[in-house]
Amino acid sequence: MKVIIIDNSDLSYSGDDINGKTLRGTEASLILLSEQFYKMGIHVDFCNCINMKKKVNGVTYFNKRKIDKKIIYDLAIVISDANLFYLVSSIKKAVFSNSNQPIEKFIRKKQLIPFLKFKPVVITLCDYQFQKRSFFTSFYGKKTIPITVDPKFLDVDFDIDHLPEKKVIYNIRSNRNLDHLIKIWIEKIYPANNEFKLFITPNLIKYTDKLKQNNIFLRNIGTRSEMINELKDYRALTYLGHKSDIFTLTAEEAIKLCLPVVTFGIGSLKERVTHDETGFLAKNEQEFADYTIKLLNDDNFYLALKKKMKRKRNENNWDYIANIWVKYFLDE
């Protein structure tokens, strides 16, 4: 069997870049999926803006302009853009959707004609996205197949009884309700204990003396391996959520490291977080503050939740997810 994955972004990457700082969740996830396909005996080509053809962990990477239409693939997977199907010959076709893509954006991005011509199945990553994705932007069917974390998050050794400092993290790469989180921190969380610290992603907001005075600091953005080591030293991921979140891989990564997530459950986060098992779904600002303060102040409470989370670490690995793809698209 032969599978091809095509990315129309301006990123140039291969499996060698999985541990770098630039890859987003979509690209990293499809690299990991492609490598799992290879382990299952499937030939995989992965095309983007890369200039030099190379093979990494069994997957062949080359520039999408070099695709040979004489080769007929069993399955072509494109990232978001159905126009990419014009470049390739395949029996089955799937659009890996990394947004909710409302109908006006669907039309503006010139998706209607290639959808009518190629009849692809739209792959959504969670029930929230499945419900949000209109019939008119997925009229040949849609299927929810989740993603999961890099196996590095499961391979890491850590002390389940380790007590980090009284600090929490916001490590989302964009400003998604960060201003609201800072408001709750300054008004309701930090006043409970001046030892509390909040670390946020740099370059999202202007860093002021007021933030520093309320123990809000800028974190360093490192490689994937460095991020794993960093996350082990926090008590919680504090993220309200956002309507644009279609999977929230950041939360899944935190959970695999037994880092509780405190959230409003906006967007897909209500599917990532199980209340009182992998974090807390707060109904309002005060609940959000109370859960965060409890995790920071009460060592026994924090450790008990961490031990609950350890039992869920190995759910939904890439072998499980790749098998869903194979059964749906490739099994006769």
Residues 162 and 291 in one domain: yes
* Burial of 224 per CB tally in 10 Å (0-12, 13-18, 19+): middle
Same domain, 214 and 266: yes
Indicate whether 144 and 176 sit together in one domain.
no
Considering the domain architecture, whether residues 172 and 216 belong to the same structural domain is answered as yes
Domain that residue 43 falls in: 2-148+316-330
Q: How many domains does the chain have?
A: 2
Q: Which residues pair with residue 217 across a beta bridge? A: 199
CB atoms within 10 A of CB 175: 14
Distance between CA atoms of residues 261 and 290, nearest Å? 13
CATH assignment at residue 97: 3.40.50.2000
Q: Rounded to an integer, what distance in angstroms lies between the CA atom of residue 54 and that of residue 68?
A: 16
Q: What is the 8-class DSSP label of residue 268?
A: T
Are 158 and 129 found together in one domain? no
CB atoms within 10 A of CB 107: 12
* Residue 271 shares a structural domain with residue 322: no
DSSP three-state, residue 224: helix
| pLDDT one-digit tens code per residue, 92-113 | 999 999 888 888 889 999 999 9
Residues 142 and 157 in one domain: no
Contact present, 279 and 253 (Cβ < 8 Å) = no
Same domain, 90 and 195: no
pLDDT tier at 147, thresholds 50, 70, 90 = very high
Residues 38 and 18 in one domain: yes
Q: What's this model's pTM, rounded to 2 decimal places? A: 0.92
pLDDT digits (tens, 9 = 90+) for 198-215: 999 998 899 999 999 999
Cβ atoms within 10 Å of 55's Cβ, excluding its own: 12
Q: Do residue 168 and residue 265 come from a single domain?
A: yes
pLDDT band at 332 (very low <50, low <70, confident <90, very high): low
* pLDDT tens, position by position, 225-255: 888 989 999 999 999 999 999 999 999 999 9
